[in-house]
A and B are shown apart, each in its own frame.
Chain A
Amino acid sequence: MTETVPTTQLTEVQAQRRTRMAGVLARRRAADRRFRWLGFIAVAFSALMLAFLLVNMSSAGVAGFQRSEVRFDIPLAGSMQIDSRRLTQSDPMGGLELAGLEKVVEGAAKKAFGPDADDLVAQGAWREVASALIDDPSLLNGTYHASLPASDDLASAQRGEGDAAMQQVAKKLVREGKLVRTFDKGFLSRSDATSPQSVGIWGALKGSMLTMFITLVLAFPVGVLSALYLEEYAPKNRWTEWIEISINNLAAVPSIIFGLLGLAVFLGLFPNYRSAPLIGGMTLALMTMPVIVISGRNAIKAVPPSIRDAALAIGASKVQVVFNHVLPLALPGILTGTIIGMARALGETAPLLMIGMRAFVASPPSGFTAPSSVLPVQIFLWSDEIDRGFVERTSAAIVVLLVFLLLMNGLAIYLRNRFEKRW
């Protein structure tokens, strides 16, 4: 082994290469910066699209939480032959109808707006007066300052659409302060209706909640148990491979095909429950289950094997290892996946169209087997309505749906960050 005398001088070849290297360096740096910019632009573009979508939807949606109302006074004192005690008995609405409240309201409207008042006030608006009276019978003895929904024609005239004459009327009334657009409290508590002035979202929202409940109750246990089976117990054989393939495939099967399945199988088995949250929930559960299985398996996989070894080495049985250690540790991950799967199910439309959840249901569903709509389908139905007043209402419904979805996504993100890597 020989010792050469060490020097720090570069050889000629080395020196030549150094210059070459320095020559291309600026170009490489620029390329790196460009690449970085491209990436940044991609992220920024995606974020902008999201922002655009959300702003676009919600700005239109704000108007949807309002409606046009006409304001006038209704002198109630002495106008009807009805005792305020009648209003605390059963069917007070019927009592007021018999007492001629409708005529009274009509009369007051005519007095305020002239003979065409019928065209200005929404049909059946007197019922709102009736509800107010039932809530507070003392109003019977005074003058009621009514703010009632305008007719569809007047409402669209106020937006500057439709009949020119009506638009003039609307302008005049607005000037006089008799026609206002105001926040519509009822939108969150009513159900579907024919007139955009009197629709509400509560029926669809409740339907969505009932449907999601069924989905969760079915998909969560089945999903978690399958995930445990596949990850912890399944022997590697053809059977389990088939299970794996079907689960992975189900996660990607177009949702509309689940609708065809629900139509053929679930409605075939339970024809009575067409349009019911029960069937919708079952159909969506089949869609959600693979999502839970896949995220569950990833969460289970992320539990370090050393934990299993530790428990096994003390003499825990396989079931004890799984239920005492693996499952609790994987749970945050499983929950995150479940929430994301549920969020997807909440926004799902196409399969529900196939199983009859596109029905007009004028009252909130009373239970899991009552016909019902769900939020996304309601949006779809309203988007197809003739009356232009529905455009804003549709956006408002979208806002409601998006709020729920953002909340769910936020919860999932929170869970993920909170429980990320505990070991």
Chain B
Amino acid sequence: MKTQDLTKTTHPVIRFLINNAVPILFIVLVAFAIPLSGFSGEYLFREMVTRVSRNSFLVLSLLIPVIAGMGMNFGIVLGAMAGEIGLIFITDWEIVGMPGLLLAMIISTPIAALLGYFAGKILNKAKGREMATGLMLGFFMNGVYQLVVLYSMGKIIPIGNNNILLPRGFGIRNAINLEGVRQVLDNLLSFDIFGIGIPIANFIAIGLLCLFIVWFRRTKLGQDMRTVGQSMEVARASGIDVEKTRLISIVISTILACYGQIIFLQNIGTMNTYNSHEQVGTFAIAALLIGGASVARATIPNVFVGVILFHMVFVVSPRAGKELIGQAQLGEHFRVFVSYGIIAISLALYAWRKQMEKQNLRRQAQAINREALKIQQGSTIGGKES
């Protein structure tokens, strides 16, 4: 097969092309789509800056469970819910500005930790099916969330603010105005480049989280997690409490996702009370996967590459599709098709490359074996002759 020969090639350019097939595919696509969409460079740049600053934190929260071998944590939805509950409270109490944002984080941390603990316990019972279970857990908790927010807030949990309470006296409205904390983090430290505000504070938070992850990997706990991720049997044999380690990784991930959602929503400025969290998992995971991560391995660069590429396609393709086909409604379908299609293709490319690498290794191993065998045979034959 021709394709297999390609991966064997030692030519550096071709090698580079193959190793970076997905980003290259994306760049080609985007290069076509940008002029078609007719967006100005300024608009695109601004859009990318906001999207990286608001989404990266959430995507980063996925990394730690991957280290522990638990795959993509669909359970970050739970963290997002915790963050939203924190935001509901500060909106009710009318705490505004940076203090409000920090207070929301403080309130939601124990909730997130509790939910994370719960999720971790369940995922420990569903080893090998963590992703499917996490997904279902998200659906399940969505029901609980509705029950709490729509039926017990205002009745059991006191809520006094008429702007978020439904007129019937209980339940939170479908949309909450986060005017009080809207973009406070973004605007805390921002300076303009060519008239585009760069939210420095946001990037500092993201940077700190990256440092935390790098540091965490080197701690004893981080090392244990890696061992657990590679093989639970080995970890158990070397005296690591596997269950506890996995649990901790999920708790950390949930808490981080909770902060991520708060950062995300302070930028968005309004909260869709019952749906904002629903797709958090799917989108964050899609971005991470496009960035080159796999279920077993994900790095910090994957996060940023992924967020940029994923969102670039999301921004550009609806307009490009519209201009290409000429009908607005088709543009929207085109966007969904291209966005998800490209995810599927890139995942396929990554998986395929990995498979090829494996095959190459095997072939090399076989070749070495054969050589060894030949030498052995040669020597024995030679031995006989002598």
Check if A and B associate: no
Q: Which residues of B contact A (CB under 8 A)?
A: none
Q: Which residues of A contact B (CB under 8 A)?
A: none
